[in-house]
Amino acid sequence: MEKFDIHVFPALPYAYDALEPYIDARTMEIHYDRHHRAYFNNFTAAIKGTSLDNSTIEQIFSKVSEAGDAVRNNGGGFYNHVFFWENLAPKSAGPSAELTAALVKEFGSFDKFRELFGNSAKSRFGSGWAWLYVTADKKLAVGSTPNQDNPLMDVSAIKGTPLLALDVWEHAYYLKYQNKRADYVEAFWNVVNWEEVSRRYREAVK
Ligand SMILES: [Fe+2]
């Protein structure tokens, strides 16, 4: 994403029903306007009057182990959802030639990448996120994080620059898919904003 403002709760980049039938309007409304907004409000309250209030989100995440659970959970929840909304879109073309080549190089084929990413999403126990990200040595990797952690955090087992996120908390899919997380993960591929993911890749490997 472009410069992330820690003091702004951004508008959803599309209407609640824009991703129907893959993500339903009711889920989008509750997810954005209740869950996401609560993370933002709680994060704002947690950093108010501290030195973090004048930091970038990257600075905060790089030392989040020192900031406490309220900042870790709510800062992650705030950032991850902004990141997630931006990597979804009603109309999904494919990844750029550059990103496609990198995916094939790293994973063998685009389908193999989808399978590995999907497995990360489906096998994350409990609540969390699946990620495609770029490692410090500029290689693509897939993995998952628990709760609201992300690859920018010093506490994360996977580290790098995120490109694509998938929310696998039950609040992201339960109304439409109930316990069938695998169906939600499959549907997700219909609404990936590959233009944005490709842009993030270009930035990450510059
Ligand atoms: Fe969520």
pLDDT averaged per 10 residues, the chain (length 206): 88 98 98 98 97 97 98 98 98 93 98 98 97 98 98 98 98 97 98 98 96
Helix (H, G, I), strand (E, B) or coil at 35: helix
Give the Å distance between the CA of 108 and the centre of ligand 1: 30
The neighbouring-strand residues paired with 141 are: 133
Give the Å distance between the CA of 139 and the centre of ligand 1: 27
Residue 76: how many CB atoms within 10 A of its CB? 26
Q: Report the sign of the C-alpha dihedral through residues 28, 152, 150, 136, in that order.
A: positive
Give the Å distance between the CA of 81 and the centre of ligand 1: 6
Q: For residues 7 and 173, is the Cβ–Cβ distance under 8 A?
A: no
pLDDT at 155: 98
Give the Å distance between the CA of 148 and the centre of ligand 1: 9
Q: 190 Cβ partners below 8 Å, 6+ apart?
A: 22, 92
Give the Å distance between the CA of 169 and the centre of ligand 1: 6
Token pair for 64: 């989040």
- The strands making up 161-167's β-sheet, listed across from edge to edge, are 140-146, 128-134, 161-167
pLDDT at 91: 87
Token pair for 67: 């900031």
Q: For residues 43 and 60, is the Cβ–Cβ distance under 8 A?
A: no
Give the Å distance between the CA of 23 and the centre of ligand 1: 12
Helix (H, G, I), strand (E, B) or coil at 21: coil
Q: Write out the residues surrounding ion ligand 1, Cβ under 5 A.
A: 167, 169, 172
pLDDT at 93: 86
